[in-house]
Structure 1
Amino acid sequence: MVDQLKNVYSGKKVFLTGHTGFKGSWLLKTLSILGAEI
């Protein structure tokens, strides 16, 4: 499943708002690991 998500987000630009909260910071880290450009 992680490989599928990497294929989706790798190299994609993502605009994330609300990254200072718990969920946002978790999502920011996860997207970064998956190779998204944040």
Structure 2
Amino acid sequence: MLRYVINRIIVALPVLFGVLVVTFFLIRLIPGDP
């Protein structure tokens, strides 16, 4: 069970990082007035 959780975390970290990077670039590229 612990090995499964660790494996899920290892898989989820790059995905989460990718989502953060894409979101950051979308916010930077799209000119939006708050």
Structure of greater Rg: 2
For normalisation by structure 1, the TM-score amounts to: 0.39
More helix by share: 2
For normalisation by structure 2, the TM-score amounts to: 0.44
